[in-house]
Amino acid sequence: MTKSYVSQLLGYGLNEAGIQVYVFLLQHGEFRISDIANMNQLPRTTVYEALKQLRKFGLIEEITFENYKKIHALPFTSIRHHIDEKTAQLKDLKLEAREIERTLQGLPNLRSQTPTKVRYYDGVSGARQIFWNSLKAKDTVYVYSSWGRSPYMGKAFYEKFVAESRNRHITERVLVENNHRIHERISEDLGKTDFSRSKLQNIRASNKLDIAGEVLIYNNIYAQVTLKQDFITGFEIENQKFVDMQRSIIEALWKKARLFK
């Protein structure tokens, strides 16, 4: 058999034994099953399976004589009836699939609506990653700050971080402790245009806060970084409900805090 039509017939779902038997019958006429097996050097069980497949596709018929049967090959156009039948079935299945889809979409979602992910970071590179991730903020970034990020993460990195924040028009609302040390740091940094992404009017001071390190709240992320010379570590919590609660807390504190002057 040439490979061209064999591959085409395989595409219809026939196997190689079925193709061999069908082509044999087309070329040589009708035969008994035993003769088909012997002349094609195929096991009789293989011939039975092949005939079962050909019968399903409507490509053969049985001719019954008084004491025996012969198998007769029908023209390949007979397969069109099988194709038409399958096409109709597929059309029905397509309509049923739409109905099933609507039904399944209406099922209650029993999974957790707000799965929680926690990511941990260590060292300078980890702190940098946490701050860089905040560049994904789609709205205001709320911050608790002890002020003084750059000495721990490097001047070059922080200047790049500030520049990228401005390019993306990211704004912060920053809450700090109300003490003289932080006032001096803020005044010094705000005098350097490349050294803070926070504007003066977006910084407020509170007497009720004891802040260590940095907390960033944005999108569905709550991130916290501890910045010490011998210990830099942090984490991110990704959970919308938790972040919504934290955002509402800092917004309430923000409204009561003093404008930084």
Domain positions in the chain are: 3-80, 117-259
Looking at residue 237, its pLDDT comes to 94
The tally of CA atoms less than 13 A away on the side-chain side of residue 137 is 25
> Residue 173 in contact with residue 260, Cβ under 8 Å?
no
H or E element in which residue 134 lies: none
| Domain 3-80, CATH class in plain words | mainly alpha
Whole-Å CA distances, 71 to 80, 122, 215, 218:
20, 77, 82, 75
Whether the Cβ atoms of residue 124 and residue 155 lie closer than 8 Å to each other = no
141-145 vs 172-177, strand pairing mode: parallel
Q: Sheet containing 221-228: give its strands across.
A: 117-122, 231-238, 221-228, 214-218, 141-145, 172-177, 203-206, 258-259
* Closest among 69, 231, 68, 187 to 60, alpha carbons compared: 69
In angstroms, rounded to a whole number, what is the distance separating the alpha carbons of residues 118 and 188? 35
Give the model's pLDDT for residue 260: 65
3-state secondary structure of 221: strand
Q: How high is the pLDDT of residue 195?
A: 43
Nearest Cα to Cα of residue 168 among 201, 134, 199: 134
The strand ranges marked E within 111-178 are 117-122, 141-145, 172-177
Contact 253/239 with Cβ under 8 angstroms?
A: no
Residue 166 DSSP class: H
- DSSP conformational letter for 190: H
pLDDT score of 90: 79
216: helix, coil or strand?
strand
The one-letter amino acid code at 57 reads F
Q: What is the pLDDT along the chain (261 residues), one digit of tens a residue?
A: 455 667 777 766 778 888 888 888 888 888 888 888 899 898 988 889 988 888 887 888 888 877 888 888 888 777 777 777 778 877 877 887 777 777 777 766 666 566 789 999 988 888 899 999 999 999 999 998 887 777 777 888 888 888 898 899 888 888 888 777 777 777 666 655 444 555 666 788 777 777 878 899 999 999 999 887 778 889 999 999 999 999 999 898 888 887 766
CATH of domain 117-259: 3.30.870.10
Res 200: pLDDT:
60
Question: Rounded CA gap, 9 and 16, in Å?
Answer: 9
Q: What is the pTM of this model?
A: 0.55
